[in-house]
Structure formats: C-alpha cells, structure tokens
Amino acid sequence: MFFKKLFGLMGKSLAMDLGTANTLLYTPKNGIVLDEPSVVALDSRDGRVLAVGREAKEFLGRTPQKIVAIRPMKDGVIADFEVTNAMITFFIKKVIKGMNLIKPRIVICVPTGITQVEKRAVIESGMQSGAREVSLVEEPMSAAIGAGLPIEEPLGNLVVDIGGGTTEVAVILLSAVGYSESVRIAGDEMNEAIQRYIQDQYKLLIGENMSEKVKIAIGTASPMEETLTFNVMGKNMVNGNPKTITVSDGEIRECIQEPVNAIVQAVRRALEKTPPELVSDIADNGLLLAGGGALLKGLDKLITTETQVAVHIDPDPLTTVVRGAGLTLSDARKYRHVYIN
C-alpha cells in the first residue's frame, strides 16, 4: 500500500483528448503540454513510423509511393489500433522525458456513443502505450467541467461539443449524463463537403489541408455583414495544371449546410427528449458550445435562432475538453463519479 501510494505521488498524471483531428495532452502541473494533429506517416514497405503529429500532417496529399500518411482515429474512436498505439506512445514520450520507470496515470476523453468494444480498445491502447492506469470520461462531461459548469447540482446543463469526427450533445446534471447523442457528423464532413463543392463547381481538385484552411478562413453558418473571400489553390481536373480560384463565404455556407443542419437538429432532438424542468434550466442558463466546430462563424447565432436558447462559446473551445479531464486528475475524490470505467 505504501509503495502504491508512493508511486501514485511520483508518477506523472496525464489527461488526453484523443480526437479525430487533434490530440491534446494536459498535466495538472503544467496545463496543456501538447497539441498535435492525430496523423501518423508510415513507410509503406515495412510499416515503420516516420513522423507523427504536426510533421506528419504536412505529408497529407504530398507523400511519395513509399510513404503513407494516415489518421488512425475515425469518428472519435480508434480505426487503426497499432498506429494509434504508436501515436499515443510517441506523444507520451514527448511529454514525459526521463520518467520511463514510472508509468503515468491517464484520463482519456471518449464520445458518449462509444461501444464496449471501442472502450476496451481505447483502454488497451493506453495501457500498451505505457500507462499504469487508464480512466475514461465522456467528452461532453469533460467539456462541462472544463468550462466550469455546476455539474454536481440538480440543474440541467446542455453541452454541444463539435470535434473533427463527432458532435456530442448531452444534458448533464448531478455529475451524470441525463441525455446524450453522439452524431458522427462534424468538422471532417464540412471539409469533405467543401472538397466536393469545389470539385463539382470549379473542376478543381484540392486536398484535405486546403479544404480545412477554407473552412477556417471563410466558413460560416449564418450570413455575415461583409462578404468574405479566399483564394483556393488546387489541380485543374481538365488538364492537370495548377489553378487558383476565389470563393466566397456564401458559397461555402451553402455547401456545408447539410452537416451544419445535422448538428442543429441534434441540439433540437436533445431539447425535445429532455424533461420540461431541465429544459427550463437550459433556457435560463443557455447551452455551452465547445470543440473546434464552435469556431465556425455564426453557428451560435444559427442555433439560437433555431432553438430560442442562448449559446455560450467557451473562451478556448479547442481545449475545453482536455482541460476538464485535467481537472478530474487534480481532485479525484470530487470527480470520481464522472469516469465510465
């Protein structure tokens, strides 16, 4: 018991937001210590890892035949177990230097719709990557904690967390999830919609990185006061030559309308299926918007128009989830009920 307690004090504790688009690591002492794309570049001949994270993302769409750049996470869960192990191990070693003898305790954020098989895969991946203990917390719960919502009170808190692979909608109260829905439509679907639109409308092929740049620069869910434009570079489908076109925010808003509407409908379903008392709480307090999708211009305005509920965007929506998971490490007794394994 003494040695277990001693190792608990000495060992590093990490919170991990293992996302489809990005992986973030947080320590109670230093805050966010890593924020890298969830991408791994492999040698296609022998499977050797050549690059991970930001460096590997630059390989997307630019790799020679002997190199393949892949994203091992899909829809918020592990799609390639071995590559995910390699990615997590790389990130942990990058953060914890000179501490190889003392394995870390890790809290990993997962979607609310995760299956038992997917849970086991995440836990096993964490253990094989060098953790001594792996705890799981649902992403909306973690976002609520990170945003400072009163999760332990008998009041309804509506959280909408829009990541790369999933949109998590949940009503939280009494340190538990009262209602949840995990919609596998989020930022990636918007990127793909932009790629398809530019291909169909302009006969221009663009890569994943370029479509994401377009979304960040001029992606909107509601009309803007001023027209926004962006120069898009790609490959002419007709002759293969490089070509640059200019697109407007109105065009991009139209092409991402389907995934955006799917997110809004998920929020409306949550309100429809929530008891009246809790809906009254949500009407008084508004809903929390977190994740990278919260940065889509005008999305808060659209949700408010469609639901008549005020929307609060976390000041740093990209890190809300991992910050919440990190807080559970700082006060394990207070937050012991939020873990789902």
**pLDDT tens for the 341 residues of the chain, in order:** 433 443 343 457 899 998 888 999 999 889 999 999 999 998 888 888 888 998 888 877 666 778 888 888 887 778 888 888 889 888 988 887 654 557 889 999 998 888 898 889 889 988 988 888 999 999 999 999 999 999 999 999 999 999 998 999 999 999 899 999 999 999 999 999 999 999 999 999 999 889 999 999 999 999 999 999 999 999 999 999 999 999 999 999 999 999 999 999 999 999 999 999 999 999 999 999 999 999 999 999 999 999 999 999 999 999 999 999 999 998 878 888 899 98
3-class DSSP assignment, residue 177: strand
Given a contact cutoff of 8 angstroms between Cβ atoms, the answer to whether 171 and 178 are in contact is yes
Q: For residues 249 and 256, give the distance between their C-alpha atoms in angstroms, rounded to a whole number.
A: 11
Which regions of the chain carry the CATH code 3.90.640.10? 187-257
Q: For residues 326 and 299, give the distance between their C-alpha atoms in angstroms, rounded to a whole number.
A: 27
Q: Which two tokens stand for residue 91?
A: 């990130």
Determine the topology of domain 187-257 in CATH: Actin; Chain A, domain 4 (3.90.640)
Q: Domain 155-185+260-316: give its CATH architecture.
A: 2-Layer Sandwich (3.30)
Which regions of the chain carry the CATH code 3.30.420.40? 2-37+82-141+321-338, 155-185+260-316
Q: For residues 103 and 100, give the distance between their C-alpha atoms in angstroms, rounded to a whole number.
A: 7
Q: Say which CATH class 2-37+82-141+321-338 falls into.
A: alpha beta
- Going by C-alpha positions, the residue among 109, 131, 136 that lies closest to residue 120 is 136
The interaxial angle of helices 116-128 and 81-95, nearest 10 deg, is 40
